[in-house]
Amino acid sequence: METGKPSRPASDVDSYIAAYPDLIDLAAILAASHRQILNTPPAAPSRARVTDDLYTGLIKRFSDRVEHSSAIPSFRHHSRGADDLPG
């Protein structure tokens, strides 16, 4: 095994990115929110803002796939940590 060489040529990586743009976008949206979600107590008002931002990012990118009965609104509701918060 040679060192210093990528395991795949750059063109293969580029074709994977081109083939899975939704997966790449989802990973980027989740990565942008992940630290804030993990480091914010569930019942804190700032946690509601973080999950709202995550939800908004998902809706903007995947509006054609979001249903009101889906897991995203359920996650949003439960991650807020309080039943009396709006939304």
DSSP letter for 44, please: S
Spatial neighbors of 87 by CB under 8 A, at least 6 apart, are: 48, 52, 76, 77, 80
The reported pLDDT for the residue numbered 64 is: 82
> Could you tell me the two tokens for 37?
């979600």
13 lies in a domain? no
Which residue segment(s) compose the domain that 62 sits in?
Answer: 27-87
58 lies in a domain? yes
Q: In this structure, are residues 37 and 50 in contact, taking their beta carbons and an 8 Å threshold? A: yes
5 lies in a domain? no
How does pLDDT run across 36-80, given as a tens digit for each residue?
888 888 788 888 888 888 888 888 998 887 665 566 667 667 766
- Burial of residue 58 (number of CB atoms within 10 Å: 0-12, 13-18, 19+): buried
The reported pLDDT for the residue numbered 27 is: 92
How does pLDDT run across 5-41, given as a tens digit for each residue?
555 555 678 888 888 899 999 999 999 888 888 888 8
**Residue type at 50?**
V
